Amino acid sequence: MTEQIGQIGQIGQAALPPSHDNRRQAVYWRLLARLFDPEEQPALESASLAVVEDIGLPPALLDPQASVDSVVQRHPELAAEFDGLMLPPAGPAPDGDGDADGGGRDRAAEVRRAALVSKVLLNVFATGSGTVSAGQLSRWQSDAGWLERALGCTPGELRGGRRGGAGGTGTGPGGTGVSPYGTGGRGGTPDLSRLIPAIGPELGAIEADLVKRMQLREVLADPRLASQLTPSMSLIEQLLRDKDNLSGVALANAKALIRRFVDEVAEVLRTQVEKATVGAIDRSIPPKRVFRNLDLDRTIWKNLTNWSPEEQQLYVDRLYYRHTARRTTPQRLIVVVDQSGSMVDSMVNCTILASIFAGLPKVDVHLIAYDTQALDLTPWVHDPFETLLRTNLGGGTDGTVAMALAQPKIAEPRNTVVVWISDFYEWRTEPLFESMAAVHRSGAKFIPVGSVTSSGRGSVNPWFRERFKDLGTPVLSGHIRKLVHELKTFLA
């Protein structure tokens, strides 16, 4: 590698790299060098600067301290180029010309793309070490949004899916941490299956590391710094873990951040839940004969035999009305959530989801959280913010204490669904599984869930996974949309 860098250094001494391949190579060598070594390599820096200036891009692309937001704000024409930047090009390759080889590759475009890709990747993956400020965290979250946009997603989609669509309000206080330029995306569904490893969980891990490196209590105590924080799952986890050690202004700012995050996630989940059917039409009940239920099209069709050509009039001797009554058997939803440290994402999502289902008619929702002790959170199920403040993240896992609270709530098994969210690494495995099997045999719908995260990442105890499969209730694990679909099907 030293020899390669030396060769590129010689290229940098020349007026310009002699070919498009060398230009692109210089940019990517600089990217690799900066990712693995924070110290500048003068030869690579000078070669990359020559490339960037020659192709008409701003030198700020090479400044590690400049966010993508700041570059785009100064050069708005670049915003469209970041959109889908890392997706395969659409349409046929251009015909060969001065900048393309015989195979139709546009070498000049590849150099430009390499410079833009390098900027995004370097800002997201070269996070350095040491203490992180609120401004640095917000800047990283914004840059991660640009990376997601480059992959054809909306900012936040790979890390959590809570800021989909255009709606960013900037990176300043009260904003979402993604600039108006960085909230787009092409709107399609990109094929990210070839990414090895899956990039969403890795972005989440980087974000979690940045949050851990913050002096969070000092940041929360300063309203100006706290206002720069962008709520994320990693940040909320730290706030929930540390909430008992906060007071005064710091506690107030922490609660404000938690509520902002809850509201954002609830908005996304509520949209998914509202797409549910509300029950089949009950045709055993006669339609109510009021004007708003009048089926005008059917009425005309059924009375066409009464049409008078001479008078050009339709005589109606019978009116037809729409059925609006639906079968709405009262349903009971019991959500049991493992609140140990490994299940924070699921705890937050399911608490919010339970509150949304609790707002539906004819649905009686109960919420239980547990580690080595169980807590019935049903009195606060309509307010996920208050529910989360009463959780106590961390500790061991003993599902039998939660089952002791859940079983008495199953009054009518046929109208009851029990959703159990855990990684199922339990202290007492056999007794817990037997009680779960008993719930299933009683006629209640039992849904074991391994994860309800946005990324779908989660580890499930293989002992439980195999036994649930044999029981006919395989573990549901993946995106939270899967759980929403299961619940909609049962409650419809």
Q: Are residues 309 and 365 both part of a single domain?
A: no
Domain that holds residue 303: 281-325
Q: Are residues 354 and 478 both part of a single domain?
A: yes
Beta strand pairing call for 363-370 and 331-338: parallel
Residue 363 lies in a domain: yes
Write out the two tokens for 450. 């391994």
- Residue 145 and residue 224 in contact, taking contact as beta carbons nearer than 8 Å: no
H helices present in 14-60, as ranges: 20-36, 42-54
* Residue 165, pLDDT score: 35
Lowest mean pLDDT among 64-68, 94-98, 367-371: 94-98
Average pLDDT in the chain: 77
pLDDT band with cut points at 50, 70 and 90 for residue 198: low
Q: Are residues 361 and 303 both part of a single domain?
A: no
* Residue 492, pLDDT score: 56
- Total count of domains within the chain: 3
The residue among 266, 295, 325 that closes a domain is 325
Residue 236 lies in a domain: no
Write out the two tokens for 477. 């694990």
Residue 27, judged by CB atoms within 10 A of its CB (0-12, 13-18, 19+), counts as buried
Q: Are residues 386 and 300 both part of a single domain?
A: no
Instruction: Tell whether the model's pLDDT for residue 442 goes beyond 70.
Output: yes
Q: What is the mean pLDDT of residues 319-347?
A: 74
In this structure, the number of other CB atoms found within 10 A of the CB of residue 369 comes to 28
Q: Are residues 310 and 393 both part of a single domain?
A: no
Q: Are residues 378 and 301 both part of a single domain?
A: no
Buried b (16+ CB within 10 A) or exposed e, 52-68: beebebbebbbeeebbb
| Residue 416 dihedral angles phi and psi, to the nearest 5° | -125, 135
Tell me which of 198 and 475 has the higher pLDDT: 475
Q: Are residues 311 and 431 both part of a single domain?
A: no
56: alpha, beta or left? (left if phi > 0; alpha if psi -120 to 50): left
* Residue 368, pLDDT score: 92
Q: What is the mean pLDDT of residues 181-207?
A: 57
Lowest mean pLDDT among 134-143, 298-307, 342-351: 342-351
pLDDT band with cut points at 50, 70 and 90 for residue 129: confident
From residue 245, alpha-carbon distances to 239, 341, 370 in Å are 10, 18, 21
Q: What is the mean pLDDT of residues 12-23?
A: 60
In this structure, the number of other CB atoms found within 10 A of the CB of residue 175 comes to 17
Residue 237 lies in a domain: no
Write out the two tokens for 141. 């979250």
CATH code for the domain in which residue 443 is found:
3.40.50.410
Q: Are residues 339 and 483 both part of a single domain?
A: yes
Residue 23, judged by CB atoms within 10 A of its CB (0-12, 13-18, 19+), counts as buried
* Residue 490, pLDDT score: 66
* Residue 189, pLDDT score: 47
Q: Are residues 420 and 400 both part of a single domain?
A: yes
Residue 344 lies in a domain: yes
Tell me which of 350 and 433 has the higher pLDDT: 433
- Say whether 283 sits in a helix, a strand or coil: coil
Residue 383, judged by CB atoms within 10 A of its CB (0-12, 13-18, 19+), counts as middle
* Residue 135, pLDDT score: 78
- Residue 432 and residue 466 in contact, taking contact as beta carbons nearer than 8 Å: no
* Residue 451, pLDDT score: 65
Residue 49 lies in a domain: yes
Q: Are residues 353 and 485 both part of a single domain?
A: yes
The Cα angle at residue 202 between residues 116 and 83, in degrees rounded to 5: 30
Render pLDDT for 461-476 as a digit per residue (tens, 0 to 9): 889 999 999 999 988 8
Residue 452 lies in a domain: yes
Render pLDDT for 241-291 as a digit per residue (tens, 0 to 9): 778 778 899 999 989 988 888 888 777 777 766 654 445 565 666 777 888
Buried b (16+ CB within 10 A) or exposed e, 298-327: eeeeebeeeeeeeeeeeeeeeebbeeeeee
* Residue 453, pLDDT score: 56
Q: Are residues 35 and 119 both part of a single domain?
A: yes
Q: What is the mean pLDDT of residues 364-377?
A: 88
Q: Are residues 295 and 415 both part of a single domain?
A: no
- Say whether 102 sits in a helix, a strand or coil: coil
Lowest mean pLDDT among 150-154, 333-337, 358-362: 358-362
Lowest mean pLDDT among 141-155, 269-283, 371-385, 464-478: 269-283
Residue 156 lies in a domain: no
**Short-list 253, 256, 243, 160, CA closest to 207:** 160
Residue 10 lies in a domain: yes
* Residue 403, pLDDT score: 94
The residue among 325, 352, 377 that closes a domain is 325
pLDDT band with cut points at 50, 70 and 90 for residue 141: confident
